[in-house]
Structure 1
Amino acid sequence: MKLRTLIICTSALFGGCATVHQSYAPDGRVSYNLNCSGLARGWDKCFQAAGDICKEAGFDVLDRSDEPSSTVGGSYSGNRGGMFGAQTSERSMAVACKRPAP
Protein backbone atom coordinates (compact mmCIF):
# COMPACT_ATOMS: atom_id res chain seq x y z
CA MET A 1 0.00 0.00 0.00
CA LYS A 2 2.85 2.40 0.83
CA LEU A 3 4.50 1.71 -2.54
CA ARG A 4 1.25 2.45 -4.37
CA THR A 5 0.85 5.76 -2.50
CA LEU A 6 4.46 6.68 -3.29
CA ILE A 7 3.96 5.96 -7.00
CA ILE A 8 0.79 8.07 -7.15
CA CYS A 9 2.42 10.99 -5.34
CA THR A 10 5.52 10.83 -7.53
CA SER A 11 3.42 10.75 -10.70
CA ALA A 12 1.47 13.80 -9.60
CA LEU A 13 4.64 15.68 -8.68
CA PHE A 14 6.58 14.91 -11.83
CA GLY A 15 3.67 14.74 -14.28
CA GLY A 16 4.68 15.86 -17.74
CA CYS A 17 1.52 17.30 -19.24
CA ALA A 18 0.22 20.83 -19.15
CA THR A 19 -3.25 21.25 -17.65
CA VAL A 20 -5.72 23.17 -19.80
CA HIS A 21 -8.78 25.26 -18.90
CA GLN A 22 -10.97 26.93 -21.51
CA SER A 23 -11.88 30.61 -21.22
CA TYR A 24 -12.44 33.64 -23.48
CA ALA A 25 -9.98 36.24 -24.72
CA PRO A 26 -10.84 39.97 -24.56
CA ASP A 27 -11.50 39.92 -28.33
CA GLY A 28 -14.11 37.14 -27.92
CA ARG A 29 -12.01 34.22 -29.16
CA VAL A 30 -11.96 31.04 -27.15
CA SER A 31 -8.74 31.02 -25.14
CA TYR A 32 -6.95 28.36 -23.18
CA ASN A 33 -5.22 28.79 -19.83
CA LEU A 34 -2.32 26.36 -19.72
CA ASN A 35 -0.49 25.42 -16.54
CA CYS A 36 2.91 23.79 -16.89
CA SER A 37 4.16 24.14 -13.32
CA GLY A 38 6.30 21.60 -11.54
CA LEU A 39 9.68 19.94 -11.64
CA ALA A 40 9.22 17.93 -14.85
CA ARG A 41 7.13 20.50 -16.69
CA GLY A 42 8.53 23.43 -18.59
CA TRP A 43 7.47 25.97 -21.17
CA ASP A 44 7.85 23.28 -23.82
CA LYS A 45 4.83 21.47 -22.31
CA CYS A 46 2.69 24.63 -22.57
CA PHE A 47 3.78 25.27 -26.16
CA GLN A 48 3.17 21.62 -27.06
CA ALA A 49 -0.34 21.74 -25.54
CA ALA A 50 -1.12 24.98 -27.42
CA GLY A 51 0.06 23.39 -30.68
CA ASP A 52 -2.03 20.29 -30.03
CA ILE A 53 -5.12 22.45 -29.44
CA CYS A 54 -4.75 24.92 -32.31
CA LYS A 55 -2.99 22.61 -34.78
CA GLU A 56 -1.98 24.22 -38.10
CA ALA A 57 -3.94 27.44 -37.39
CA GLY A 58 -1.25 28.45 -34.89
CA PHE A 59 -1.82 30.45 -31.73
CA ASP A 60 -1.27 33.83 -30.13
CA VAL A 61 0.22 34.02 -26.63
CA LEU A 62 -2.06 36.36 -24.67
CA ASP A 63 -0.32 36.19 -21.29
CA ARG A 64 2.56 34.34 -19.70
CA SER A 65 3.87 34.18 -16.13
CA ASP A 66 6.73 32.39 -14.43
CA GLU A 67 7.14 32.70 -10.67
CA PRO A 68 9.45 30.74 -8.39
CA SER A 69 7.59 28.56 -5.93
CA SER A 70 8.38 26.69 -2.76
CA THR A 71 10.91 23.95 -2.23
CA VAL A 72 9.59 20.44 -2.73
CA GLY A 73 10.98 17.79 -0.39
CA GLY A 74 11.04 17.01 3.29
CA SER A 75 13.23 16.69 6.28
CA TYR A 76 15.20 13.61 7.16
CA SER A 77 16.25 12.33 10.52
CA GLY A 78 19.85 11.68 11.31
CA ASN A 79 22.81 13.23 13.00
CA ARG A 80 22.77 16.37 10.86
CA GLY A 81 19.06 16.90 10.20
CA GLY A 82 17.98 19.45 7.62
CA MET A 83 16.02 19.76 4.41
CA PHE A 84 16.41 18.46 0.90
CA GLY A 85 14.42 19.17 -2.21
CA ALA A 86 14.22 21.21 -5.38
CA GLN A 87 12.87 24.61 -6.32
CA THR A 88 9.74 24.50 -8.50
CA SER A 89 8.19 27.18 -10.68
CA GLU A 90 4.60 28.25 -11.20
CA ARG A 91 4.33 28.61 -14.98
CA SER A 92 1.15 29.52 -16.82
CA MET A 93 0.28 30.80 -20.25
CA ALA A 94 -2.93 31.97 -21.92
CA VAL A 95 -3.27 31.36 -25.66
CA ALA A 96 -5.93 31.76 -28.34
CA CYS A 97 -5.96 30.04 -31.72
CA LYS A 98 -5.34 32.35 -34.63
CA ARG A 99 -8.28 33.16 -36.84
CA PRO A 100 -8.15 31.89 -40.41
CA ALA A 101 -7.02 34.46 -42.98
CA PRO A 102 -9.95 35.89 -45.01
Structure 2
Amino acid sequence: MEKIFVIGVTVLLAGCAAVVKPMATPNGKQGFSVSCDGSADDWATCYNAAATACKGKYSIIDKQSDSTPTAYGPMVRRYIVAECAQ
Protein backbone atom coordinates (compact mmCIF):
# COMPACT_ATOMS: atom_id res chain seq x y z
CA MET A 1 0.00 0.00 0.00
CA GLU A 2 2.84 2.37 0.82
CA LYS A 3 4.40 1.80 -2.63
CA ILE A 4 1.15 2.75 -4.33
CA PHE A 5 0.96 5.95 -2.26
CA VAL A 6 4.57 6.91 -3.11
CA ILE A 7 4.01 6.24 -6.81
CA GLY A 8 0.78 8.26 -6.77
CA VAL A 9 2.43 11.24 -5.07
CA THR A 10 5.36 11.08 -7.48
CA VAL A 11 3.04 11.13 -10.50
CA LEU A 12 1.02 13.99 -9.03
CA LEU A 13 4.09 16.10 -8.31
CA ALA A 14 5.57 15.41 -11.73
CA GLY A 15 2.66 17.34 -13.26
CA CYS A 16 3.24 20.38 -11.02
CA ALA A 17 6.41 21.81 -12.49
CA ALA A 18 6.92 23.82 -15.64
CA VAL A 19 9.54 22.67 -18.14
CA VAL A 20 11.46 25.64 -19.50
CA LYS A 21 13.79 25.39 -22.51
CA PRO A 22 15.80 28.28 -23.97
CA MET A 23 15.35 29.07 -27.63
CA ALA A 24 15.74 31.84 -30.18
CA THR A 25 12.44 33.33 -31.29
CA PRO A 26 11.68 33.71 -35.03
CA ASN A 27 13.01 37.29 -35.01
CA GLY A 28 16.27 36.25 -33.30
CA LYS A 29 15.57 37.39 -29.74
CA GLN A 30 16.06 35.34 -26.58
CA GLY A 31 13.01 33.30 -25.70
CA PHE A 32 11.84 30.21 -23.88
CA SER A 33 9.41 27.41 -24.61
CA VAL A 34 7.44 26.68 -21.47
CA SER A 35 5.36 23.53 -20.94
CA CYS A 36 3.19 23.32 -17.85
CA ASP A 37 1.19 20.15 -18.23
CA GLY A 38 -1.10 18.63 -15.65
CA SER A 39 -4.52 19.30 -14.25
CA ALA A 40 -2.96 20.46 -10.95
CA ASP A 41 -1.45 23.51 -12.72
CA ASP A 42 -2.97 26.45 -14.55
CA TRP A 43 -1.79 29.17 -16.93
CA ALA A 44 -0.27 31.11 -14.02
CA THR A 45 2.33 28.34 -13.70
CA CYS A 46 3.43 28.96 -17.30
CA TYR A 47 3.38 32.74 -16.92
CA ASN A 48 5.41 32.67 -13.70
CA ALA A 49 7.97 30.30 -15.23
CA ALA A 50 8.33 32.59 -18.26
CA ALA A 51 8.78 35.66 -16.03
CA THR A 52 11.45 33.86 -14.01
CA ALA A 53 13.28 32.63 -17.13
CA CYS A 54 13.17 36.07 -18.76
CA LYS A 55 14.04 37.83 -15.50
CA GLY A 56 11.00 40.05 -15.75
CA LYS A 57 9.03 41.18 -18.76
CA TYR A 58 8.20 39.05 -21.76
CA SER A 59 5.73 38.76 -24.64
CA ILE A 60 3.84 35.60 -25.49
CA ILE A 61 4.30 34.79 -29.17
CA ASP A 62 2.60 31.38 -29.15
CA LYS A 63 0.11 29.75 -26.79
CA GLN A 64 -1.50 26.33 -27.11
CA SER A 65 -3.50 23.99 -24.91
CA ASP A 66 -5.48 20.82 -25.15
CA SER A 67 -7.21 18.40 -22.83
CA THR A 68 -7.70 14.68 -23.33
CA PRO A 69 -10.15 12.79 -21.13
CA THR A 70 -8.75 9.69 -19.41
CA ALA A 71 -10.05 7.23 -16.84
CA TYR A 72 -8.04 9.12 -14.19
CA GLY A 73 -9.21 12.61 -15.12
CA PRO A 74 -8.23 14.98 -17.92
CA MET A 75 -4.70 15.02 -19.28
CA VAL A 76 -4.09 18.75 -19.74
CA ARG A 77 -1.26 20.16 -21.83
CA ARG A 78 -0.30 23.84 -21.84
CA TYR A 79 2.50 25.42 -23.86
CA ILE A 80 3.72 28.95 -24.46
CA VAL A 81 6.63 30.52 -26.28
CA ALA A 82 7.78 33.64 -24.43
CA GLU A 83 10.01 36.28 -26.00
CA CYS A 84 12.03 38.16 -23.41
CA ALA A 85 11.84 41.96 -23.37
CA GLN A 86 15.21 43.64 -23.59
The TM-score with structure 2 as length reference comes to 0.81
Maintained 8 Å contact 1:20/1:34: yes
Q: In terms of Rg, which structure is larger?
A: 1
Partner of 1:47: 47
- Contact in 2 for aligned 1:13/1:39 (Cα 8 Å): no
Q: Distance in 2 between matches of 1:69 and 1:32?
A: 25
Map of 1:34 onto structure 2: 34
CA deviation after TM superposition for structure 1 residue 8, in Å:
4.0
1:20 equivalent in alignment to 2:20: yes
Q: Deviations over 1:56-96 (max 9, x none)?
A: 3x00101000111241x4xxxxxxxxxxx211211111101
Q: Which segments of 5 or more consecutive residues in structure 1 lack a partner in the other structure? A: 74-84
**Is the contact between residue 36 and residue 91 of structure 1 (CA under 8 Å) also seen in structure 2?**
yes
Query: AA paired with 1:47?
Result: Y
How far the C-alpha of 1:7 sits from its partner, in A, is 1.8
For residues 1-102 of structure 1, what are the structure 2 equivalents within 5 Å? 3-4=2-3, 6-14=5-13, 15-56=15-56, 58-71=57-70, 73=71, 85-99=72-86
Cα pair distance change 1:3/1:69, threshold 3 Å: same
Is the contact made by 1:35 and 1:91 (CA closer than 8 Å) also made in structure 2?
yes
1:4, distance to aligned residue in structure 2 (A): 4.2
Q: Under a length normalisation based on structure 1, what TM-score does the superposition of the two structures give?
A: 0.70
- Secondary structure of the residue aligned to 2:55 is helix
Structure 1 residue runs of 4 or more that deviate by more than 2 Å after TM superposition: 2-6, 8-15
Q: How far 1:47 moved relative to its partner?
A: 0.5
Compute the RMSD of aligned alpha carbons.
1.9
* Bigger fraction of residues in strand: 1
